[in-house]
Structure 1
Amino acid sequence: MERFVIVLPEKARGEDEGFMVELIAGKMMMTDGVNLMRLGSVIEPRPLKGWGYTYYEVTGTSQAMSTLMAPPEGAPMVEAFVSGKPLKVRYNSRLPIVVYAPKGFEIKYRIWKASDTTETAEKE
């Protein structure tokens, strides 16, 4: 296993409530550029006993699944990032996000921001 650490940009207490972090575990692989590919891996939260802290672990298989469309004859292979099921976690800039993944995996992340406005649902 390899350890990855994500340190988020600092946000004031209360300001971080409208944000989420999406964790994406995957690896660079050669693909045909036509079929959709996905790994059989997931990211699971794990409690660090006695510390009240959560870390994350990539589990499952690193084998790729693919749709079965025939690529055009002579189409070149393309290197692409193939990922498993992503996980969204609460944004907290006061603690780093620690992810353990099998060797050969990469951890990517993106920050999601909620809209400043809310909409009212219609009654039916």
Structure 2
Amino acid sequence: MKLPTLLAAGVAALGLTACAAAQAEGAMTQAGAANGQAASADLKAFPAATAGQTRHVINLPAQSDEDGLKVELILGKTQTVDCNRQFFGGRLETRTAEGWGYDYYVLPALGNAASTLMGCPPGSERQSFVTTQEQPLIRYNSRLPVVVYAPSDVEVRYRIWRAGETRTAR
């Protein structure tokens, strides 16, 4: 008596698996067709950019061990520089989306450029990406976009950092 019951349960489970696979395939097709809609749905928690600001969105891929990863936010712009070390002032603020609890980042204004004062040889001018002095490391979370608001002339770049093995102090 148990064999027919197990066989019937196995057939039912196989049917549910096939149904779930068909639903997942349909969802993937819909997601592919409406990729822009999914991106805008992810951003509904975040405010629109204010005048003179641009909203930059970083969608991180899922990783097996996200606790061992950090995201470095790098803000700046490309300028003509010489041999001196150059950077911009400006402080990246962390704000929370009201009613949602999600963090986002705002650079209200890019500060003045500063530079070391070494004597540079003639012809040392070149184009280089000059960054803000502060480049925070934030938590890696592939389930939420990283949203950064910056002045329209500022470029937002990022770098992924991976933790090494844990060692014991002696």
Q: Larger relative contact order (C-alpha < 8 A, sep ≥ 6)?
A: 1
Measure the CA separation in 2 of the matches of 1:42 and 1:57.
8
Judging by fraction of residues, say which structure has more strand.
1
Q: TM-score, normalised by structure 1?
A: 0.89
For 2:67, what is the secondary structure of its paired residue?
helix
1:5-60 CA deviation, whole Å, 9 max, x = no partner?
00001124xx100000000110111101x100010022221111111111100135
- Determine whether 1:29 maps to 2:79: yes
How far residue 75 of structure 1 moved from its aligned partner, in angstroms, is 1.5
1:19 matched to which residue of 2? 69
C-alpha RMSD over aligned residues: 1.2
Runs of 4+ residues over 6 Å off in structure 1? none
1:75 matched to which residue of 2? 123
Which residues of structure 2 form unaligned runs of 5+? 1-52
8 Å contact from structure 1 (residues 26, 105) kept in 2 = yes
1:6 matched to which residue of 2? 58
| Count of residues paired in the alignment | 117
Which residues of structure 1 form unaligned runs of 5+? none
Measure the CA separation in 1 of the matches of 2:147 and 2:110.
20
8 Å contact from structure 2 (residues 109, 150) kept in 1 = no
2:146 matched to which residue of 1? 97
Measure the CA separation in 1 of the matches of 2:72 and 2:110.
20
8 Å contact from structure 1 (residues 22, 89) kept in 2 = yes
For 1:17, what is the secondary structure of its paired residue?
helix
